[in-house]
Amino acid sequence: MQAVKVRGRNDVFIDPAASVPALRPGFLLIKVTSVALNPSDWKRVNIFDGKVPRTVGCDAVGRVVACGENIGWDYKPGDRVAGLCYGMKDDDPTSGAFGEYALLKGMLSLPVPDHISDLEAATVPVGTNFVTQALYYVLKLPLPRLHPKAPDPNAPAVLIYGGATATGIFGLQYARLSGWRVLTTCSPHNFQLVKALGAHEVYDYHDSKACAAAIRTGTGNNLRHVFDCVSEGSSLQICADALTSQSDVAVYIAALPIGDKFPRKDVQHGWTSGYTAFGEMTHLTGKLRPTSMIDPASAAEYWKMTTELLRHDRLRLAPLVHSREGGLAGIPTGLSELRGGRVSAGKLVYRIGH
């Protein structure tokens, strides 16, 4: 089969004779119809130093070809599914989304409802896996409701920093369905979008001090929960200054490794990775190892929860889709777009095999 592989730092190519992943218990094999690109794809490509080329990509949608034992779903051949791949896996060069066939972990997959297109479904796996882990496993927000109550001005507040990122777009929607007061930051040209997706209050992050001061004032110096979808540049300082000045009551969770960079020691802080949902870590070790590791059983429950939200049309996916042409051959260009910071408010999505 054809697959997008990495063979060196920032060196991706189309392998015309890649091996089809071998089916094993707990996994299912799909014929891929759409994939989405994520920042983790290009960032890992940039630092790759392995000796064996590996398949890139994590977001995949396709038709079931075959299922291993104990996948957690009653899938049949031909069913349309979306799921998570462990792209660029150290001990399996065939593991990744960007190929004609892909292997999905059953517990980290879901059936795609009829009203959702393949392109829309491709935006789901990485984003929802990561967001549910951060909001519910780490920050302990109440689980989302299919029919949330009217917004309560006295509800607890959560700051989704970077609301116009792909991760932030999912974060806004989940937090709103959880019934909390949702705050976010983004550029002014995205204000309307993030409000439509669930933000109650939006702040321009370009003036760091003014942004943090406005959030702290707007929350009465009582903001205790932050999910930072940017986790670099000025975001750490803005979040630290926006959180309540009270010691030892606030929680900050980052989307990237932050080491000892968070400015406040009186705030519980760390980072988490969606890869931990696989129950195995092969590339994040030492200082890069996440401070929060989700157990696979909890991750599986969040995927079931997301399935119901999608089935009842509670998550808006269309705004996330930035469709690109070229199939697998176009993906190297897409990775360059991401690397150059030319993608905002969504994901690059490609049709495969059309």
Indicate the residue among 288, 304, 329 that finishes a domain: 288
In a domain, 23, yes or no: yes
Report the Cα 138 to chain-centroid distance in Å. 15
Q: Are residues 163 and 269 in the same domain?
A: yes
CATH number of 133's domain: 3.40.50.720
Residue ranges making up the domain that contains 104: 3-123+317-351
Taking the CB of residue 308, how many other CB atoms lie within 10 A of it? 12
- The whole-number pLDDT of residue 289 equals 63
Q: Are residues 185 and 329 in the same domain?
A: no
- The whole-number pLDDT of residue 117 equals 98
In a domain, 217, yes or no: yes
Say what the pTM is.
0.95
Q: Are residues 119 and 245 in the same domain?
A: no
CA distance 146 to 130: 20
Q: Are residues 133 and 221 in the same domain?
A: yes
CATH number of 43's domain: 3.90.180.10
Q: Are residues 150 and 198 in the same domain?
A: yes
354 residues of the chain, pLDDT tens digit each = 999 999 998 899 999 999 999 999 999 999 999 999 999 999 999 988 888 999 999 999 999 999 999 999 999 999 999 999 999 998 899 999 999 999 999 999 999 999 999 999 999 999 999 999 999 999 999 999 998 877 777 899 999 999 999 999 999 999 999 999 999 999 999 999 999 999 999 999 999 999 999 999 999 999 999 999 999 999 999 999 999 999 999 999 999 888 889 999 999 999 888 888 988 765 655 555 666 668 888 999 999 999 999 999 999 999 999 999 999 999 999 999 999 888 889 999 999 986
In a domain, 210, yes or no: yes
Q: Are residues 254 and 160 in the same domain?
A: yes
CA distance 99 to 96: 7
Q: Are residues 271 and 151 in the same domain?
A: yes
In a domain, 299, yes or no: no
Q: Are residues 165 and 190 in the same domain?
A: yes
CB 267 within 8 A of CB 251: yes
Upper half-sphere CA count for residue 59 (Cβ side, 13 Å): 29
In a domain, 305, yes or no: no
Give the count of domains, the chain.
Answer: 2
Give the DSSP H/E element, type plus range, for residue 102.
strand 101-105
- Nearest CA to 275 among 255, 246, 260? 255
Q: Are residues 282 and 325 in the same domain?
A: no
Q: Are residues 144 and 111 in the same domain?
A: no
Q: Are residues 103 and 141 in the same domain?
A: no
Three-state SS at 308: helix
Reading phi first (left if > 0) and then psi (alpha if -120 to 50, else beta), residue 260 is in alpha
Q: Are residues 80 and 65 in the same domain?
A: yes
